[in-house]
Structure 1
Amino acid sequence: MPSPFRKPWFLPGLLLLIATSSLPAADIILNEFMASNGGGTPVPNQVPGTTDDWIEIHNRGTTTLSLAGWHLTDSAGNLNKWTFPPGITLAMGDFLVVFASGNNALDANGNLHTNFSLSAGGDYVALVRPSLTVASEFGPSTDYPSQQSDISYGLHPSNLEPVYFQTPTPDAPNDAGGQLLVEDTQFSHKRGYYTSAINLSLTTNTSGATIRYTLDGTVPTQSTNGSTYSRAIPINTTTVLRVRAFKRGLQATKVDTQSYIFPTSVGSQTRPSGYPTGWGGEPTADYNVDTQITQSRQYAARFRAGLRDIPTLSVTGEKDDFFGSDGIYVDTQDRNIEAAVSAEYFHPDPVTDGVNIENGFQIDCGCKLQGGASRTPSKAIKHSFSLRFRDLYGAGKLNYPVFDGTTVTTFDSIHLRAMYNNSWIHSNSGQRARATMIRDQWARDCMIDMGNADGGQGHFVHFYINGIYWGVFNLHERLENDHYAAYNGYEDDEVLGLNPGRLTSEETASFNAMKAVVTNSRSPWSRIQTVLDVDNYIDFVITEYFGRNADLKSGDNWRAAGGGSANAPWRFYCWDTERILE
């Protein structure tokens, strides 16, 4: 007679020594999850250095239960999206943590990983029986609410009501101190452009909650930072508000950020009070707009109208994270510094105040300085940036159709190019004489028009830092491994992205393997085509050489992606082509 016992399979939280049994609906539940893991709460047995989101399952029954054939999903329309492997059982009272990393494989410590990740912006997650009926879920009628970094969400241990946990407890009973969340704050006026003064009202549907706000880019706290809202706030100049609501016994809201831009204020902008007069290696900080243009009879009206002609990107964060001694605009040579910011993107109506023809998005993310020579303050004081979407700040990816002409709407990062070569800010007078802002995007547009959908979409935006106008920037896709993956049907971790100026050993080995095949006269044509997208490479060479890019180097100022575990064909991208068409 076969033994009713199974051989132990040592995964955390499991006891695999008892015979399996069927499962009543209420005995197994989704107990807790974290959709924005900043690493503040280590998970038992996790691989060191990892911060994947996680889902905790709890057996509330009185017997050991099998999870064979059960599923986890983040889509109500795809209930069997991820399936537990055979041999997984859960003892009575035990917990099981499954990491929602999207990797779909056991990690080095034997932990399970789903083929999907969780969204910090609100989503759906469910535990599903083999019969494809839902056993336990968060978000059955609407998505679960937005999540904050290092705060988990789950069932209160006393009443099983969904609450937030300041103290997450993966692989253990939930914290009895879990709290409901204060309902989100509402603004009486939308973010956007205004020509007349407004009185801004702030509200929350949570009775008795206190609303706190700041006007300087800092995060409001319950008592020590910011002002308490008591009446409508008069606004008649460019203003950025950061708002949060608090109530004793409840979890505070996330920080809401909204920008109100007044074109007349932009046209007379000078250094704001409290901002430094120098930026590290640049002794003379320049915040002022050129009033000879912005207030002249000939150009003033055109300038104000022009502020509404293209989208706006407004980032808001701690002043010192930008302009303090260790800020990204002062310590420009440190490529690891990243400021935590709110990013708002919208396209204002050309005429009507408070109306946007594209409502855009708001997302909490990281902001980094970008560039090579342009980082040096003596060469340029208008630097490039990138926005980095990480679980550390909230949503791990930006999900929004930023660019026309593409079906790709999910981004790990996007780039803000200030323009350096052949620009008005260049230290060389010859380059200033050739100044335009279109050369770099022209090269990427050429690649797209020649049939390379992943050539790099982009357009222009007006950029603000803490409400301070910073000029026109080229907002475009960052041409990295996730970009290649999104356009060519791969997962991010299956392919490599290559910056020739900063290669890793893995990238070097994969890229050199491709070159070895291509340059070997004995390699059959079919083999060459498997490691290199030949048509793409031809288009790249035509664009760079027809345009006579004066800054193209064998070891810099271009990008490529491919190879990796998928052995995907390498593709080339135009990057830093500001000296094209001279």
Structure 2
Amino acid sequence: MITKPFISPFFFTVTITVISFWDTQIANAETLDDAIISEFVADNNDGIVDEDGDREDWIEIWNTSGEAGDLSGWHLTDDPNDLTKWQLPAIEMASGGYLVIFASGKDRATAGSELHTSFGLQREAGGYLALVKPDGITISSEFRDYPRQTKDVAFGVGIEGEAPITFFSAGTQAKWHVPAGPVDDWTNPDFDDSGWNSGETGIGFDSPGGRYQPLIGAGGDAGDEMRSKNATVYIRIPFEVADPTGISNLNLRLKWEDGFVAHLNGKEFYKESAPGLPAWNSRSTEGGRNEDNATSFFNYPVAQGGLVTGTNILAIQGLNSSAGSSDAIFVPELTGVFKDTTNLKEGFFASPSPGGANGIRYEGLVSDTSFSVDRGVYDTAFDLIITTKTEGAEIRYTTDGTPPNENSGKIYTSPISITGTTVVRALAHKPGFQSTNVDTHSYIFPDDVYGAQFSEALTAVPTISLVTQANYDLRLMSVASTSELPSRTNERPESSQVIVALVSGNIHVRIINVHIRRSQETNRLEYQTVIDKSESQLTNGVEKTDLQNLLNQAPFPDTAAISPETQREIIDKAIAISGHTPRTPFLEDSNNDYIEHKSSIEMIYPDGKPGFQEDAGMTNFGGGYTNFTKKSFRLYFRKKYGTAKLKHPIFDGFEYNNIPPTDEFDAINLRSGSHDMSRRGGYMASRFVDDTMLDMGQIAPHGRFVHVYLNGQYWGQYHLRERWDAEMASNYFGGKKEDYDAISSNNNGSEFQNGSSYNGT
């Protein structure tokens, strides 16, 4: 008999299996005995949307009974004096399933449709929420005087203990039968199978020496009854459960050939390669299954039905490809997870999981850090004070651009003296609480750049401060001289010291000697590496460059006579030799997309007007033809970094008579000026064309000039510009960005697909 496992008070696991049930329909289900509110969100700003496209607050109900059942007659309420305020319809839930209900006040209670309560949720401290049983009196779960709720953070109950359960494994006792005609109710728990064959799983047959022979249990060989007679075999496996409460995540593990239909306690929950209405002599709907797959366990969630106290029955109709097939196999196992629902703890969940198991529970949320001096442009030193309202929280900070965490960074104990351009990043944390995000403040002192004579120029336009962990300063300290490099026709072996690199100011790479020759067969350069061990002390024992974070690469010094193609070929191969993907100036992933690095971006106005700080994904763009030290940057705003959209009027202050700029952006570009080059007027070409088009009433990217600092170092003047893409089109032409196809390609038209020219109709 399966009993609930002992859960140590110190045992804690976070379940990652997600089972989502927005509304489920199970025929003839009985009213549930147990269910609880597992989590709710009272300030849904950037989460799920309802059928109207609104981001309403929501409540999640979890079926903890261990059985499938009906919520008919249950109630939700936000008023302790009105326990029957809103009644649920006949929505049915699988064992361990979840149901999400919007707390919108829209009052929609139709089974099979999206559900909305007649009330909303209180965000301020002192709120109330309860789930009440059909008698209108018994409170199944409640949150009384819950704390103030935070935007896009869930509040609910966490499981303090859970453990996996195996109800039965391969080799368990089963009953099996090859029918000669219809057999009524054979999947039901109370069916009399005493006249069936007895045997251990797996059930099936194979020729002597066949791959399935070792899988067939004692008494489980069905060859005599199936061969040339029937492609179907019925299998029933009984198992005992003392109490199903708290058991969820039921999962069938099965080795099978060639199809099956699975039932738990009379309810079908999964079928594979099976007809819609299987008969007593059905066969699989697909041909013979690959034997490698057939001898491996595959997982199938039990999405219908559930457990009962006492004897339970897993019933499987095994299907062969035909009655004349030479083999078949069915080896089932059933597993689940026990969650101790008697030991629930209230708390916050930083990552809401509507329709799924809750994640890590926090006792509270640490209040955000507060800086006594805001980001900005300064000419006088000052002391910076960092605080948090959470009592007992520790603040950690950095001034080197790295993000602090709970275990790294300086511990804040006293004011920080700011005497020059400095980037301060801070985080507050407390055991058992959700830590704050990393706050970033850049303090710009223009005099640090070239002295006071340039201060006026550096404060004439806004400043963009970028802070990233990408290695942006890669300078090649030693490159083969021209005489050592093979010419385009040279076929004799050459030896050349290729690279010692300085990454972010520190030597990190080994000296590599590379023998280079041109293959007579392929006319391509071939390389063989020789590591000069005597130079290892120059690298402090580090033998490989950390080039995976390469962001901005300087040009090759003293190599003007070497063709750009040869330079790139040699450096790419040198990087490959060191064990890293060869891409310059910025690494690409397997999809040929530039790798994004989570970075901070701040916009600082010289007149003290409030700017913004957001985290975004930063990468290089362009530079495929030019090879300048100063690279262009693109910043993508995505939820995985922080905000899904930058919402700020970054082009405010400019007069546009025809097409005013938007104030919402998925991505923005920082153009270095290398695109324009000296013959185009340096910095002027793109800006002139864009503004001229806009003045003519035609769509073009809006832009402005800014000064850029990268990790606190002045990086030069840049052209801040909208990015041409589908999102930009939707901002100015209407509709959704999904309505547009954005083509981004440098070509003469030959790469576009053929089509008909638009005739204006």
Deviation at 1:56, TM superposition (A): 7.1
| Corresponding residue number in structure 2 for 1:341 | 599
Alpha carbon RMSD of aligned pairs, Å? Answer: 4.2
| Corresponding residue number in structure 1 for 2:631 | 383
Deviation at 1:403, TM superposition (A): 1.9
Deviation at 1:450, TM superposition (A): 1.7
TM-score by length of 2: 0.45
SS at match of 1:487: helix
Deviation at 1:29, TM superposition (A): 8.1
SS at match of 1:154: strand
Over 3 Å counting, the alpha-carbon distance change for 1:333 and 1:395 in structure 2 is closer
| Corresponding residue number in structure 2 for 1:440 | 686
| Corresponding residue number in structure 1 for 2:647 | 399
| Corresponding residue number in structure 1 for 2:361 | 177
Q: Which amino acid aligns with 1:329?
A: N
The question of 1:482 aligning with 2:727 is answered yes
Deviation at 1:144, TM superposition (A): 6.1
Over 3 Å counting, the alpha-carbon distance change for 1:28 and 1:177 in structure 2 is closer
Give, in whole Å, the separation in 2 of the partners of 1:146 and 1:481: 29
Higher helix share goes to which structure?
Answer: 1
Give, in whole Å, the separation in 2 of the partners of 1:144 and 1:484: 37
| Corresponding residue number in structure 2 for 1:305 | 456
Q: Is the 8 A contact 2:108 2:118 kept in 1?
A: no
Give, in whole Å, the separation in 1 of the partners of 2:447 and 2:596: 32
| Corresponding residue number in structure 2 for 1:81 | none
Q: Which amino acid aligns with 2:465?
A: S
Q: Is the 8 A contact 2:397 2:404 kept in 1?
A: yes
SS at match of 1:348: coil
Q: Which runs of 5+ in 2 are unaligned?
A: 1-18, 49-56, 73-88, 110-115, 126-146, 159-342, 475-502, 504-546, 554-583, 589-593
Give, in whole Å, the separation in 2 of the partners of 1:390 and 1:175: 22
Over 3 Å counting, the alpha-carbon distance change for 1:173 and 1:480 in structure 2 is closer
**1:173-572 alignment to 2 at 5 Å?**
173-175=357-359, 177-223=361-407, 225-267=408-450, 295=451, 300-301=452-453, 303-320=454-471, 323=474, 324=503, 325-326=547-548, 327-330=550-553, 331-335=584-588, 336-349=594-607, 356-357=608-609, 359-373=610-624, 376=626, 379-404=627-652, 405=656, 406=660, 408-423=662-677, 431=679, 435-452=681-698, 454-501=699-746, 508-509=752-753, 512-513=754-755, 516-518=756-758, 528-530=759-761
SS at match of 2:442: strand
Give, in whole Å, the separation in 2 of the partners of 1:17 and 1:156: 27
Deviation at 1:449, TM superposition (A): 1.5
Q: Which amino acid aligns with 2:691?
A: D
Q: Which amino acid aligns with 1:57?
A: E
SS at match of 1:217: coil
Q: Is the 8 A contact 2:394 2:412 kept in 1?
A: yes
Deviation at 1:160, TM superposition (A): 8.6
Instruction: Give a deviation string over 1:95-142, Cα, whole Å, max 9, x none.
Output: 1479xxxxxxxxxxxxxxx9xxxxxxxxxx957423986545485799
Give, in whole Å, the separation in 2 of the partners of 1:501 and 1:245: 47
| Corresponding residue number in structure 2 for 1:555 | none
Aligned pairs, how many? 390
Deviation at 1:57, TM superposition (A): 3.1
Q: Which amino acid aligns with 1:466?
A: N
Q: Is the 8 A contact 1:29 1:60 kept in 2?
A: no
Deviation at 1:154, TM superposition (A): 3.4
Q: Which amino acid aligns with 1:245?
A: A
Deviation at 1:388, TM superposition (A): 0.6
Q: Is the 8 A contact 1:312 1:345 kept in 2?
A: yes
Give, in whole Å, the separation in 2 of the partners of 1:365 and 1:173: 29
| Corresponding residue number in structure 1 for 2:535 | none
Instruction: Give a deviation string over 1:21-56, Cα, whole Å, max 9, x none.
Output: 99xxx987863699889xxxxx9xxxxxxxxxx977
Q: Is the 8 A contact 1:311 1:345 kept in 2?
A: yes
Over 3 Å counting, the alpha-carbon distance change for 1:127 and 1:209 in structure 2 is farther
Q: Which moved more, 1:485-494 or 1:320-329?
A: 320-329
Q: Which amino acid aligns with 2:587?
A: D
| Corresponding residue number in structure 1 for 2:107 | 129
Over 3 Å counting, the alpha-carbon distance change for 1:13 and 1:160 in structure 2 is farther
Give, in whole Å, the separation in 2 of the partners of 1:417 and 1:14: 50
Deviation at 1:17, TM superposition (A): 2.6
Identity of aligned residues (%): 32
Q: Is the 8 A contact 1:322 1:339 kept in 2?
A: no
SS at match of 2:433: coil
Instruction: Give a deviation string over 1:176-208, Cα, whole Å, max 9, x none.
Output: 733321100000101011111100000000011
Q: Which amino acid aligns with 2:686?
A: D
Instruction: Give a deviation string over 1:279-312, Cα, whole Å, max 9, x none.
Output: xxxxxxxxxxxxxxxx4xxxx43x2012221111
SS at match of 1:496: coil
Q: Which amino acid aligns with 2:98?
A: F
Over 3 Å counting, the alpha-carbon distance change for 1:190 and 1:21 in structure 2 is farther
Larger Rg computed on CA atoms: 2
Deviation at 1:88, TM superposition (A): 7.5
Give, in whole Å, the separation in 2 of the partners of 1:450 and 1:159: 65
Give, in whole Å, the separation in 2 of the partners of 1:360 and 1:240: 16
| Corresponding residue number in structure 1 for 2:155 | 154
TM-score by length of 1: 0.58
Q: Which runs of 5+ in 1 are unaligned?
A: 1-9, 38-42, 44-53, 67-85, 99-113, 115-124, 268-294, 350-355, 425-430, 519-527, 531-582
Give, in whole Å, the separation in 2 of the partners of 1:421 and 1:165: 43
Deviation at 1:13, TM superposition (A): 5.5
Over 3 Å counting, the alpha-carbon distance change for 1:55 and 1:456 in structure 2 is farther
SS at match of 2:404: coil
The question of 1:94 aligning with 2:89 is answered no
Give, in whole Å, the separation in 2 of the partners of 1:231 and 1:504: 62
Q: Is the 8 A contact 1:188 1:201 kept in 2?
A: yes
Over 3 Å counting, the alpha-carbon distance change for 1:463 and 1:55 in structure 2 is farther
Over 3 Å counting, the alpha-carbon distance change for 1:194 and 1:333 in structure 2 is closer
SS at match of 2:434: coil
Give, in whole Å, the separation in 2 of the partners of 1:173 and 1:383: 45
Higher strand share goes to which structure?
Answer: 2
Q: Is the 8 A contact 1:36 1:395 kept in 2?
A: no
| Corresponding residue number in structure 2 for 1:287 | none
